[in-house]
Structure 1
Amino acid sequence: MTLIFAITTAILAIAVIGLWMRLRKRTQHLTYIHQKISDILDQGTFERLLVFNSDEQVSQLLKDMNQLLDHAHRAKAGYANQEKEMRNMLSNISHDLKTPLTVVLGYSETLLHSPSVTDQERKIMTEKIQDKAQEVLRLIHSFFDLAKLESGDTELVLSRVNISELCRLKMLSFYEMLTNLGLHVELEIPDGDLFVQANEEALDRVLDNLITNGMKYGAEGKVLGLSLEYSTGGPVTLQIWDQGKGIPESEHSRVFERMYTLEDSRNRLYQGSGLGLTITKRLVERMGGSIHLHSVPHQRTVFSVILKAW
């Protein structure tokens, strides 16, 4: 009986000691977690926590906390990027507003304070003021259009759109401007009409932006092309291309950013509001599609819009 009691007592003692050691180790682990979290909060770092294999529950807690830290790190990086982008956008908008307004003020002061201005000079200056005022208005409209798109306030109703006919009409509307620029037009549109799931007004604006972009920055290549491609069961691909100076490969991933500019002289490739391609991308995405860029300078710069067939 004494032997049994001794054995039982020993077993209980071992169990208690084991429990005490586990509790002590868990307390050490929790103290470590508390200290690391405090350091992370105080220092603003996102250092990961060491995962212990000896305690399954603590180990799972640490894994979950590391995932939370990863999420917080990505959120902070995204916020910092947006903040930088917003500062750049405001700086560029200020620049783009200041330039035409300076011209407007200059001509208006001349008209007000120079009585010797001839009627012909007055007419030219008035036209310049009108052009620059329209430029400011276009920039303001572009800024608010993008703001509405990104806030989700603008609802795009999708329907069955004849993209073949829309492309034909759009290129016809640009024909005189293209001819005046000395641009040869190459069209590749299938004989049968192609239909896509889209918003006709939004798609019309996408075409406007991409064709205008090609005219501005690809004119030296003397050709502007538009093609439509479709394979049974797949999407419809719209491509607008030119053979101009193109875009460096290192910049391809950034051309759709708000107010994107190259460092060289406020982006010689994308002068102006810097919002056209951003709005284009947002519109395409709101229609359930995607847009891509491929550019080999002086050979072929192509914007490809991929939309669901209807």
Structure 2
Amino acid sequence: MVTFLLFIIIGLAALNFLQYRSNKSDQSNLTYLYKKLQRIINEQTDEKLLLHTDREDMKQLLIQINRLLEHNQKIMASYNKTEISMRKMLSNISHDLKTPLTVVLGYIEIMLNDQNRSQKETDELLQKVHGKTVEVLELIKRFFDLAKLESGDKDIPLTRVNMNEICRKNILGFYEVLTSKGFDVAIELPEENLYALGNEEELDRILNNLISNAIQYGSEGKVLGLTLRTDEHSVYVDVWDKGKGISALHKDLVFERMYTLEDSRNKSYQGSGLGLTITKRLVEKMDGEILLNSKPYEKTTFTVKLNRITY
């Protein structure tokens, strides 16, 4: 009996010792996790919590904490990218507004200071002031349009749209410009009408932006093409040119806010950097996708992909 009781006492003592060690180990692990987590948060590093443990509940806790850390790191990376983009956008807005406004101010000063000018000269100056003012208003309108698209305030109702008619109407709208600039135009439209889920007004705007962009930046190639094609599920509109194109370095950036190629700041390639951003947002609002493929001086193609409607 005494021996049995002695075994029980020894067993209880061993369990108590093991529990003490386990508690001490848990306390040590928790202290480590607290200090490591505090350092990750304070220093904003991209580290993860690493801990060797046999406890399943502790493993699951570590998995969820690491998921939360990863989510937070993605949010911070997105925030930092947006902040950099906004700073660049504000810098470019300042530049793009300052230039025409400075010109307008110059014209007004000429009219105020030169009292001996003829009526013809006055009319010419007023026409230039009017042109620059329209330029500023158009730029401001684009800023508001982009803000509405990104905030979700712009409602774009989607319906069944005849893509053949949309393409035909928009390319004909540039006929005089293309002819005056000496462009060869290649149009490929299927005989049967193709229908897509979209918004006619916004599709006009999208194609207007893409064709204008091809004329402006692809003028050296003197060729502009528009192709309408389809597969089982989608309708594709390709707007292409054979100009200087877009290098691989810039390919992923052309749809970013206020992004312009370096030479787009000169008079030949003036642009706000908002056109393609707005185009991309509009396509996405129609549950579509815009793609870019470019080989400089061979072929640069912007492709709008929309959901096909077959009925």
Q: TM-score, normalised by structure 2?
A: 0.95
User: Contact 1:51/1:63 (CA < 8 Å) preserved in 2?
Assistant: no
Percent identity at matched positions? Answer: 49
User: Contact 2:292/2:302 (CA < 8 Å) preserved in 1?
Assistant: yes
User: Contact 1:294/1:301 (CA < 8 Å) preserved in 2?
Assistant: yes
User: Gapped runs of 5+ residues in structure 1?
Assistant: none
- Answering whether residue 242 of structure 2 is matched by residue 243 of structure 1, we say yes
Change (3 A) 1:237 1:268: farther
User: Contact 2:263/2:269 (CA < 8 Å) preserved in 1?
Assistant: no
User: Contact 1:261/1:267 (CA < 8 Å) preserved in 2?
Assistant: no
Q: CA deviation at 1:63?
A: 1.8
Structure 2 counterpart SS, 1:308: strand
Instruction: Report the equivalent of 1:131.
Output: 131
Range with greater deviation from structure 2 (36-45 or 1-10): 36-45
Change (3 A) 1:91 1:6: same
Instruction: Report the equivalent of 2:25.
Output: 25
Aligned length: 309
Q: Which amino acid counterpart does residue 253 of structure 1 have in structure 2?
A: D
Instruction: Report the equivalent of 1:275.
Output: 274
User: Contact 2:142/2:274 (CA < 8 Å) preserved in 1?
Assistant: yes
State the distance in 1 between where 2:64 and 2:269 align: 44
Instruction: Report the equivalent of 2:46.
Output: 46
Deviations 1:4-50 (A, max 9, x none): 11222222222221111111111100011111122223333332211
User: Contact 2:264/2:271 (CA < 8 Å) preserved in 1?
Assistant: no
Range with greater deviation from structure 2 (12-21 or 251-260): 12-21
Alignment map for 1:159-238 (pairs within 5 Å): 159-231=159-231, 233-238=232-237
Instruction: Report the equivalent of 1:301.
Output: 300
State the distance in 2 between where 1:165 and 1:127 align: 36
Deviations 1:208-250 (A, max 9, x none): 100110111111111110001112x220011000011111111
Change (3 A) 1:46 1:11: same
Q: Which amino acid counterpart does residue 14 of structure 1 have in structure 2?
A: A
User: Contact 1:197/1:308 (CA < 8 Å) preserved in 2?
Assistant: yes
Change (3 A) 1:220 1:181: same
Q: TM-score, normalised by structure 1?
A: 0.96
State the distance in 1 between where 2:265 and 2:60 align: 50
